[in-house]
Amino acid sequence: LQTEPRHVSALTMLGTIRAQCGNPAEAARLFEMSLAVDPLLPNALYNYGIVLAGLKRFEEALASYDRALALKPDNPVILNNRGNALAGLGRFEEALASYDRAIALDRNYPDAFLNRGMALSGLNRHEEALASYDRAAAIRPDDADALFHRANTLALLKRLGEAVESYNAVIALDPGHAPAFNNRGNAL
């Protein structure tokens, strides 16, 4: 970048590295510079959306994901993260549609099933949410998040024995998961 300050690939990669190193403001600046040079870079648009969502700038993240999807309409990862931005805005029905599109493209995408479950929970559709958490856990059995959300949903449905079993599974995977211990105590 010192010799070629508008090098799109270098700007995009450095933005990705800054995001991974915990400097989202700098990452956003670098993605903005990259996209000013070439606004049609799906990777930059996608990663910029991730950074914006991390900064709780969900409307902007959604716009970035939508631009990326215009270039790569069949990308389940972009669709999943688009759903996350919509969920961050409290637009759970739209988020659900985005997760469903991601799942239609990849029937074994555990993150999309997990996020679908959370959107359904946001809509108070707990039985359906439970089915999504079950699917996420079936695909990735060591996913403590899926099991934790599954346990919370079972507790909401007053299926307390099953909730305790699910909290126990979370604790077996992550012995330091304080919320699982707390919620297991509540279920007991």
Per-residue pLDDT at 105 = 98
The pLDDT value recorded for residue 87 is 98
The identity of residue 140, as a single letter, is: R
Residue 96 is predicted with a pLDDT of: 98
Cα separation, 112 vs 98, whole angstroms: 9
Digits of tens for pLDDT over the chain (188 positions)? 899 989 999 999 999 999 999 999 999 999 999 999 999 999 999 999 999 999 999 999 999 999 999 999 999 999 999 999 999 999 999 999 999 999 999 999 999 999 999 999 999 999 999 999 999 999 999 999 999 999 999 999 999 999 999 999 999 999 999 999 999 999 99
Residue 35: per-residue pLDDT:
96
pLDDT for 131 equals 98
d(CA 99, CA 7): 34
- What pLDDT is stored for residue 187 in this prediction? 97
Q: Which residues of 115-148 are buried (b: 16+ CB within 10 A; e: fewer)?
A: bbbbbbbbeebbebbbbbbbbbbebbeebbbbbb
Rounded-to-integer distance, Cα 163 and Cα 143, Å: 16
